[in-house]
Amino acid sequence: MNVYISTIGDEILIGQITDTNSAWMSRQLNQNGFKIVGKSSVADDKAAIVQGMEYGLKQADIVILTGGLGPTKDDITKKTLADYFGSAMEFHAPTHERITQYFTRIGRVLPPSMESQSTLPTKALILENKVGSAPGMWFKVENTNKIVISLPGVPFEMEHIMTEQVLPRLKEHFRITPIAHRTLLTAMEGESNIAKRIETFEDSLPSHIKLAYLPGMGEVRLRLSGYLHSSASSADFEALKLEIDQKTDEMHRLIPDLVYGKDNQTLASVVGDLLLEQNKKLGTAESCTGGYIAHQITAVQGSSAYFEGSVVAYSYLLKNALLKVSPNTLVQHGAVSKETVTEMAQGALKTLNVDVAIAVSGIAGPSGGTPDKPVGTVWLAIADVDRVETHLLRFGRDRLKNIHLTSVYTLALLRKFLM
């Protein structure tokens, strides 16, 4: 089944925002056996919206539109779709009730401009939006089996409606041949070096199994996808899933040092599971990452069971006052040194009253480097009551990238420390 994605909004066309929605949708659709044949971005304008939709319908069975569903007057998508499909607009009680309840719960009165959000095309199947005001809409194109879906442009609202409503309905509406997927998650090694280590394995894969490299910042996901012929039975699918599992294990055995998890895990969730298992409490002492590692850890639901807290010590003063780094160490070796992060981690064990502590100090940039400690130099330490291990990391010049990479490496090395 072919899908065409069209994003609506002047803000994308003038480059004010980067379209991340269509990449997310593409990954989800792809994993569920749909093929994306094209994408486009069009203006907030009736003619442009219709033209983009018709262009998509020529090439695909499903056209998904995102954006242009807000309550203000520059959003004209809903009206455009109603006209296009010859549909009346009507008050939709369940949507009105849901929006009213939402405003009541946050202690506010429904603004009059929100009223229009409950007026919806009668020919559309309404896709409930549990996390925002504008619902999605599902139109059947008359005399065809084709579908046009309209979703809000706010990423988490779009993701919610896609996951809860669109994907299940699409799988039901179209008879799609399922695809079996498994993903290995790796950290701290680049795509080309991984490719070299699994080259023989990759070359030996049968033609119905494909390997994709999905690189992220400091991480690479390796996804195996298994395809069935169109007349396959459900028994064939079970056999395929087993085959994919076996191939995944085989690939894992080639790079055990790089793999930290599978499928939907994250570095922070894997570390969290280990801490829970071992009944250990974690704390962090952060300088250059400024709280970002603590944020990664606490982004995981339930992390309060194993995470005590963090000291973000940007200044010398706090490194000494809260983490007990000796002034002598700071003066002699500098804040970015093996000695300082060692004392930071040991200090954090006591100050935060935890079993395991991590500490990082580095030069995030873009300025502040010296010839022997250029921008991107980071020291990290991991300590428990018995031992301390330290690592020197060297990254580039981009501040946010350095902060993110430090977090990835720290969590990946913490995982190994715990194992």
Distance in angstroms (rounded) separating the CA atoms of residues 181 and 248: 10
CB of 274 vs its own copies, minimal distance in Å? 18
Buried b (16+ CB within 10 A) or exposed e, 223-236: bbbbebeeeeeeee
Nearest to its own copies of 94, 396 (CB atom): 396
Nearest to its own copies of 91, 314 (CB atom): 314
Nearest to its own copies of 43, 126 (CB atom): 43
CB of 243 vs its own copies, minimal distance in Å? 19
CB of 394 vs its own copies, minimal distance in Å? 5
Distance in angstroms (rounded) separating the CA atoms of residues 358 and 48: 53
Nearest to its own copies of 91, 122 (CB atom): 91
Long-range pairs for 143-148 at CB < 8 Å and ≥24 separation?
Answer: 145/61, 145/174, 146/57, 146/60, 146/61, 146/62, 146/63, 147/61, 147/62, 147/63, 147/173, 148/53, 148/57, 148/62, 148/63, 148/64, 148/65, 148/81, 148/85
Taking phi first (over 0 means left), then psi (-120 to 50 degrees means alpha), and beta for anything else, what does residue 263 get?
A: left
Nearest to its own copies of 102, 174 (CB atom): 102
CB of 233 vs its own copies, minimal distance in Å? 24
Nearest to its own copies of 126, 131 (CB atom): 131
Smallest CA-to-CA distance from 125 within 169, 171, 79, 156 is with 169
**Contact in structure between 2 and 37 (CB atoms under 8 Å):** yes
CA distances from 357 to 85, 287, 316, 344, 380 (A): 60, 14, 19, 9, 11
CB of 204 vs its own copies, minimal distance in Å? 14
CB of 86 vs its own copies, minimal distance in Å? 26
Nearest to its own copies of 2, 87 (CB atom): 2
Give first-to-last CA distance, the chain, whole Å.
44
CB of 378 vs its own copies, minimal distance in Å? 12
Residue with structure tokens 């002047």? 10
CB of 283 vs its own copies, minimal distance in Å? 8
Nearest to its own copies of 4, 260 (CB atom): 4
Strands 377-383, 89-91: pairing kind: unpaired
195 by Cβ neighbours in 10 Å (0-12 / 13-18 / 19+) ranks as middle
